[in-house]
Structure 1
């Protein structure tokens, strides 16, 4: 029997009807019931429609959406999730914006995403205003009062004022499983890429509604599971939004700590205690280590907390052990995934291998054959089943990443792995020169271009090296053009062109940057030099 497909907006409304007055979102400022969330997101959909946005046109290519696109440029909070849900109700494709971008980086993203509207917090008004000067046409601007005191940008709508004036009857969902959702991630060239998810696949895949035969079954399951979910990572990353919306589909209340502009382990744990949070999502050591330190310094009873989901960066086994000791009864799920696959493999406790979830496979070097268990062959980790359509506006990258093997379509985002005799995956890392620092992806080539262009630098290469705090930290090895350039000058030069998390934590001076005969950087040399540097300028 073929199961009917479900879409995000109508499924949320079905659960909301059953849970009407129960809490849907809890913030430091107030609690929103499921009924209120339905009303507010319908009003937001009505605002979008009143401004000419919404609806879907048929498309012929996997790299097109056929829809208008709404950028979400906010810290974690109720408005972010309302933006996601309200956009879907209007049949508008939402996309995430990294709030650490410089104006130039933001302008590139808005152009690439063909943004027709941006829902943004006042904290980011100044950066957005600067980015808009680089665009040929400004999108619809909707500004959230986030307590920053920022003045309303010229031409922008005030979010709460617009909602109050809107008719929720004009925002009833007209969405369906064929609608699209955009998830922006970095590309191997260092520039962000919009991953296009068909909503039916997003719901059945990353959002976890796999076995339901109907919306009624999802509602029944939601009433049975419930709980309270806290996404510690920014919602601007897929992992954060995924656990929040996926939690909704399990009937959970989404809880946000105060001060969303920065991660504070003490505040997070106090919020877990106050609101009896049952599960949280974190990103690697950058979250796990401060949580352990905080619990050791100020022990707390967390009897409600049953699950910690880690994804996006590695979590050291020693930290997992300490978290289990400090939070009795907690279970830790260490997940492997990407924007192009969702969470598709799970690491066992104390193991270096991952077990597959669903349609995960290993395909060979040529991407034409499925590798059998027990082979010593290094292949590409691939995900089948509910996967994205392609990359927005990029037919070449779409063809390279989404391939068909033995009649099955796979997403191959670039992870290298082996397949053990037991059918588990030994993860070897991303093929591209990606540096994962505190859950943020940094692409070495992008940073290299900036460093090499700085005054006083003759050549440079950028790599990641292990860091207890960040998982990896960005290191620039540079060959000086003269002896006058200082580390502070290099940092200042990078700061003008790069988001803060991309700026190298350390600059190492070397006599000559190692390169192969063909001129390409010798990354093996660079990584060795970064770990055992000849000279370090902190």
Structure 2
């Protein structure tokens, strides 16, 4: 079997050529049109000198050009690299140089930032700029930046080309796919996948409801004969969860509706206009503003098409799930659990006790520091780990690769940073990230549990929890809280609310209110920012 991402897409596009594949604003592309434009994107990169295996940065907002570029890279066996468009110059410098970019496709508004760091990227030879429109330069339009002399710069052309069989030569399941992840701490890291492993683990073998499709023909036939889904992606495509959803839609012959930038009211208009069945979000950071918009303006829009709210990359709080159940009766909420380092690992349920539970799965286990499975019901805490179709490692970082992706008895594992224990029936109770665990007087507190309790208060829009130094207990629990507009609450009211759900040592000793909790554009928590904010108040 050849489970190559480009070959799989081409098989589906040939099976359902006239079906709409992609919608973004006023632009709509069928599977055949998207395939032809991706062919042209790949051909232009190859003509510019991009070779198989070379890395091409995709530094763009959501749009059809993003998907064309992604598929175009895969078609010529180049490696697309997702770029977080909200990174600072320092973070961009790290990512560009760490990835060793040979090519770059960048939106015009991000070109000045890209040009500022390009001088330190001697391997970067080819830059393509996606212009905002055909209008001449005007107010608000960025100045054209000065690029270093070793870079060849051209404008992006989105148009179909003639079929080129040579684009399909040499592909294999071993071709690479790299997904950069910022996580919650540290510099961005590039997770290197074999394409077959990515397809099986992150895209669930092209079948979200059953056994994987193991050949391009089988996948194409299932797309042609199966039920057509429709996805609204509210989050940026440069986020791993969005890319998982995108490929799932492409490989099932389904329609993907993109929001260029998330806006809750525009999301309601888009749902009304495009009638998606599945709305994909990243945790409460997107879901809570969307719920508020539905409560305030939902009656002005037809939302009856929405049957599923799916979250990936961040866990939806129980309070938000309950809000959606009230606002859209009968909606199914899918709280996906996974990571850039492991793909899709299952579905999380949040119980009345606030604990996050992951259903038993033979591919997912909990291991101790010696990589030995922890017996169910033992009460011991270990690390969530996955075997089978997992990444090869981190790009350019063998030391971290050895820790996160160890090979034991010939089997490669992905050991995530999430701590967990296994109940007697095999259910995995996910406690939170080990790197963020707070040690207060010898008691371990996982920030996620406290955040769940805080966000269940009706006045709280968002919250992050971290440890701050304490002379007596070593650390104490502290929280940064963003309140809903017009919904006042005091620190003591929030503590009283948490006392009904948490042990006393888990109650935030310090609460700092802020106008906005800072998260990445993909909705992930920024605990470094939270610690800086809280440090200013630590006594």
Is this contact kept in 2: 1:301–1:327, CA < 8 A?
no
Match of 1:465 in 2: 479
Alignment pair present for 1:82 and 2:68:
yes
1:407 is displaced (CA, Å) by 5.2
Alignment pair present for 1:191 and 2:195:
no
Match of 2:304 in 1: 303
Note the 1:4-403 alignment, pairs <5 A: 4-55=1-52, 67-147=53-133, 149-150=141-142, 155-160=152-157, 164=159, 168-169=163-164, 172-174=167-169, 175-186=171-182, 190-209=186-205, 211-223=212-224, 224-257=226-259, 260-261=260-261, 263-299=262-298, 300-348=301-349, 350=351, 352-357=356-361, 359-367=363-371, 369-403=372-406
Distance 1:157-1:444 versus aligned 2 partners, 3 A rule: farther
Alignment pair present for 1:412 and 2:438:
no
Higher alpha-carbon deviation: 185-194 or 234-243: 185-194
Q: Deviations over 1:65-120 (max 9, x none)?
A: xx100111001111111111110001001111111112222122111001000111
Note the 1:499-510 alignment, pairs <5 A: 503=529, 507-508=533-534
Match of 1:522 in 2: none
Match of 1:475 in 2: none
1:361 is displaced (CA, Å) by 0.8
1:134 is displaced (CA, Å) by 3.3
Is this contact kept in 1: 2:56–2:101, CA < 8 A?
yes
Q: Deviations over 1:328-356 (max 9, x none)?
A: 23211111111101120311364631114
Q: Deviations over 1:371-406 (max 9, x none)?
A: 221121111100112110011111111111112446
Match of 2:515 in 1: none
Is this contact kept in 2: 1:93–1:181, CA < 8 A?
yes
Is this contact kept in 1: 2:100–2:123, CA < 8 A?
no
Is this contact kept in 2: 1:188–1:443, CA < 8 A?
no
Q: Deviations over 1:404-463 (max 9, x none)?
A: 44653210022110011111111111122499999x9x9999xx9xxxxxxxxxxxx999
TM-score normalised by the chain length of structure 1: 0.77
1:145 is displaced (CA, Å) by 1.6
1:242 is displaced (CA, Å) by 1.1
Whole-angstrom CA distance in 2 between matches of 1:469 and 1:41: 44
Whole-angstrom CA distance in 1 between matches of 2:276 and 2:6: 25
1:50 is displaced (CA, Å) by 0.9
Is this contact kept in 2: 1:344–1:358, CA < 8 A?
no
Is this contact kept in 2: 1:87–1:93, CA < 8 A?
yes
Q: Secondary structure at the match of 2:379?
A: coil
Distance 1:249-1:166 versus aligned 2 partners, 3 A rule: closer
Is this contact kept in 2: 1:16–1:34, CA < 8 A?
yes
Distance 1:431-1:20 versus aligned 2 partners, 3 A rule: same
1:136 is displaced (CA, Å) by 3.5
Whole-angstrom CA distance in 1 between matches of 2:281 and 2:361: 20
Whole-angstrom CA distance in 2 between matches of 1:319 and 1:171: 50
Is this contact kept in 2: 1:89–1:171, CA < 8 A?
no
Whole-angstrom CA distance in 1 between matches of 2:465 and 2:48: 37
Is this contact kept in 1: 2:190–2:395, CA < 8 A?
yes
Q: Deviations over 1:350-374 (max 9, x none)?
A: 463111455111111222x112211
Structure 1 unaligned residues grouped into runs of 5+: 56-66, 449-460, 471-499, 511-529
Q: Secondary structure at the match of 1:313?
A: coil
Is this contact kept in 1: 2:336–2:346, CA < 8 A?
yes
TM-score normalised by the chain length of structure 2: 0.76
1:243 is displaced (CA, Å) by 0.5
Distance 1:354-1:401 versus aligned 2 partners, 3 A rule: same
Distance 1:135-1:157 versus aligned 2 partners, 3 A rule: same
Whole-angstrom CA distance in 2 between matches of 1:464 and 1:199: 42
Whole-angstrom CA distance in 2 between matches of 1:87 and 1:239: 20
1:509 is displaced (CA, Å) by 6.2
Whole-angstrom CA distance in 2 between matches of 1:168 and 1:124: 32
Is this contact kept in 1: 2:317–2:350, CA < 8 A?
no
Note the 1:416-495 alignment, pairs <5 A: 416-433=419-436, 465=479, 467=481
Is this contact kept in 2: 1:88–1:173, CA < 8 A?
no
Whole-angstrom CA distance in 2 between matches of 1:132 and 1:116: 11
Distance 1:331-1:187 versus aligned 2 partners, 3 A rule: closer
Is this contact kept in 2: 1:122–1:150, CA < 8 A?
yes
Is this contact kept in 2: 1:45–1:171, CA < 8 A?
no
Q: Secondary structure at the match of 1:255?
A: strand
